[in-house]
Amino acid sequence: MPERTVTVASRSGLHARPAKIFVQAVARQGTPVRIRVGDGKPVPANSMLAVLSLGARHGVEVTLDADGPQAEETLAALADLLSRDLDAEDGTDA
């Protein structure tokens, strides 16, 4: 299963608005994706509550994994999203 590690760039981390943008992007991908902090238990990346429960703050590394034929492309798109400051963007292109 492919994985991608990325540093959360949003000033508020994966909280509130950035988490919503991320979860919506995951849902649009159509590929099962999980996210974890460090060696923690992975959670479904399409669940707002699960993503918020990670407590991923600005500068924290998260690891994404995906399964399916589009896994690599999905991980690349989501890693790119998390590497941007979503607090500073309007979110319409995410």
Residues annotated as catalytic are 15
Torsions phi, psi of 6, nearest 5?
-145, 150
Burial 8-42 (b: 16+ CB within 10 A, else e): bbbeebbbeebbbbbbebbeebebbbbbbbeeeeb
